[in-house]
Amino acid sequence: MEKLLLIPGPSPVVPRILEVLARPTVSHVGSDMAADMRVMLENLKKIVFTSDGEPFVIAGAGTLAMEVALLNLAARNDRVLVLSQGYFGDRMGQICAGFAIAHDLLRSRWGSVVSPDELDAALTGTRYDIVVCTHVDTATGACAPVREYARRVREQDALFVVDGVCATGGIEERMDDWGIDVVLTAAQKCFGAPPGLAIDVFSPPAMAKRRSLLSVPAYYSDILRWLPVMKDPSRYFSTPSVNEHRSFAEATRMMLEEGMEARFARQTLFGRAIRSAWTALGFGLFTDADCRADTLSVVRYPDGVPDQGFRTSLAENGVVVAGGLGETAGRVFRMGHMGNLTAAQILFAFEAVEKTLSGLGYDFVSGASGRAIRSVLEP
Ligand code: PMP
């Protein structure tokens, strides 16, 4: 039986996008591929609201997009401030360490975010060239106040990088209006495309910074090697993942057909509906109430619901969720709800959840989750 994939990425891929993935492979420098690349790059600019940002889409995953951002911005004597609300912010710190980039890690408690005031205090004490944050940390479900961060970073003349792997295309990120210098992301989450692409959009100041660096400790990840290809996709630098790129182009078409504002609104509504369904079943949420992401939920197990037993039985009933990462392992599970998910899929998922909980002998009001979802989605 095909299972509904509600892990925090990859997200389910709809047939329209899978159909493009399955088309015969074309020449990576031919006209079909070039046409799709052009559409994809133009669409990407609309998705992150930039008119003159430079988009780069290369084969790889989100972690490569993180490296691309850091390696193309950090000069030898630069200092980077990494804001971390969890696992993936810490990874940014590890990438800095791996490339000997001087950095400080400003961490929040898991389930919360670094406050704009804490950012202010850090910026007052030290001169930073680059500030990096995670929009939504996929381990904790905490969504950072990116717009507020941007306002403060702008006052300091530092470059501002946002890891949008679990947010871009599902939660608003306005590069030009807010002053974001790099949005980095990946195909497999809010875009609803298959995994396999690293995406970075550089602002004009970020491009100027790269051009000011004589060399960077990168070859495949050097955006100046990719720039000619992004300007003219009939040129070659390194073979793109043709089918994956074309299916991603289709994913961006679908997003703009829905409309970004409508997509953000749907994402907000789905987040609310799913949180209220868990609450109706007596489950608590791990993430602080003031920073819960709408793209995934991190849910605490009540007494009597075992992690492995719950997830295994739920999968047998047709729905896959993920376990907790790091310090939360065994205590929470994570449910992704991004991309091209539908209300019907959410209702199906909670029917499976209720069936699973009944099987585990957990005491709850039958049908409570469906009613909670409908009261949000069909008020
Ligand atoms: N950043 C965030 C916020 C993520 O959620 C992830 C993946 N879960 C990554 C970075 C790394 O992406 P990938 O697994 O595609 O390398």
- Percentage, residues of the chain above pLDDT 90: 97
Q: What is the pLDDT of residue 379?
A: 80
Which CATH number belongs to the domain containing residue 34 in this structure? 3.40.640.10
Residues 253 and 321 in one domain: no
Q: How far, in Å, is the centroid of ligand 1 from the Cα of 364? A: 34
Note whether 112 and 248 are same-domain residues: yes
pLDDT tens digit string along 69-96?
999 999 999 999 999 999 999 999 999 9
Q: Are 246 and 189 in the same domain? A: yes
The DSSP secondary-structure symbol of 4 reads E
Give the residue whose CA is nearest to atom 9 of ligand 1.
62
- Closest approach atom of ligand 1 to CA 167: 3
Distance 372 CA to ligand 1 centre (A): 31
Q: Which of 73, 29, 13 is nearest to 197 (CA)?
A: 13
Taking the centre of ligand 1 as the mean of its atom positions, its distance from the CA of residue 165, in whole angstroms, is 6
Nearest 5°: the CA angle 248, 238, 256 is 20
Q: What's the whole-number average pLDDT of the chain? A: 97
Between CA 356 and CA 82 the distance in angstroms is 40
Residue 247 has pLDDT above 80, yes or no: yes
Q: Ligand 1: which atom is nearest the Cα of residue 186?
A: 15
Quick check: CB of 138 below 6 Å from ligand 1?
A: yes
Atom of ligand 1 nearest to the CA of 137: 3
Q: Do 147 and 267 share a domain, yes or no?
A: no
Q: Ligand 1 atom closest to Cα of 138?
A: 5
Specify whether 162 is located in the same domain as 131: yes
134, part of any domain: yes
Is cis: bond before 379, omega within 30 of 0? no
pLDDT (0 to 100) of residue 327: 87
What 3-state class would DSSP assign to 361?
A: coil
Same domain, 151 and 279: no
Domain identity same for 81 and 203: yes
Task: Give residue-wise pLDDT tens across range 163-181.
Answer: 999 999 999 999 999 999 9
Is residue 4 situated within a structural domain? no
State which ligand 1 atom lies nearest to the alpha carbon of 136: 3
Does the pLDDT value for residue 8 go beyond 80? yes
Q: Check residue 264 and give its pLDDT.
A: 98
Instruction: Tell whether 176 is covered by a domain.
Output: yes
321 lines ligand 1 (CB under 6 A): no
186 lines ligand 1 (CB under 6 A): yes
CA of 59 to the centre of ligand 1 (A): 14
Q: Is the pLDDT of residue 359 over 90?
A: yes
Instruction: Check whether residue 40 and residue 170 sit in a common domain.
Output: yes
Same domain, 275 and 248: no
Write the CATH number for 363: 3.90.1150.10
DSSP code for 75: -
Q: Which atom of ligand 1 is nearest to the CA of 164?
A: 3
> Of the candidates 193, 263, 191, 247, which has an alpha carbon nearest to the alpha carbon of residue 26?
247
CB 295 within 8 A of CB 336: yes
- 108-112, 147-151, 323-327: the lowest-pLDDT one: 323-327
Alpha carbons 123 and 247: distance in angstroms, whole number: 41
Tell whether 96 and 234 lie within a shared domain. Answer: yes
Domain assignment present for 2: no
> Is residue 88 a contact partner of residue 138, using CB atoms and an 8 Å limit?
yes
**Alpha-helix residue ranges (DSSP H) falling in the chain:** 15-21, 31-47, 62-71, 87-98, 116-125, 146-154, 175-178, 204-212, 223-231, 242-258, 260-280, 307-316, 343-359, 368-377
Q: 268 lies in a domain? A: yes
For residue 150, report the phi and psi dihedrals to the nearest 5 degrees. -60, -40
Range of the structural domain that residue 302 is part of: 259-377
Domain final residue, candidates 258, 288, 321:
258
pLDDT at 288: 98
Domain final position from 193, 227, 258? 258
pLDDT of residue 125: 84
CA of 301 to the centre of ligand 1 (A): 24
* 52-to-46, 91, 204, 206 alpha-carbon distances in Å: 10, 29, 7, 11
From 66, 87, 88, mutation site for ligand 1 pocket: most ligand atoms within 8 A of C-beta: 88
DSSP notation for 298-343: EEEPPTT--HHHHHHHHHHTTEE-EE--GGGTTTEEEEE--SS--H
Of 228, 258, 288, which closes a domain? Answer: 258
Number of domains in the chain: 2
Residue 20 lies in a domain: yes
369 three-state secondary structure: helix
pLDDT at 1 over 80: no
| Residue 6 covered by a domain | no
Ligand 1 midpoint to CA 355 (Å): 31
Q: Other CB atoms closer than 10 Å to residue 292's CB: what's the count?
A: 21
Residue identifier of the C-alpha nearest atom 2 of ligand 1: 165
Q: Are residues 39 and 167 in the same domain?
A: yes
Query: How far apart are alpha carbons 61 and 65 in whole angstroms?
Result: 7
Mutate which of 162, 165, 241 for ligand 1 pocket (most atoms within 8 A of beta carbon): 165
Q: What is the DSSP letter of 109?
A: P
- Entry pTM: 0.97
pLDDT in tens, 328-344: 999 999 999 999 999 99
Q: Is residue 3 part of a domain?
A: no
Task: Using DSSP, state whether 291 is helix, strand or coil.
Answer: helix
Query: Which pLDDT does position 117 carry in this prediction?
Result: 97
- 33 and 162: one domain? yes
pLDDT single digits (tens) 178-233: 999 999 999 999 999 999 999 999 999 999 999 999 999 999 999 999 999 999 99
Say yes or no: CB of residue 75 within 6 Å of ligand 1. Answer: no
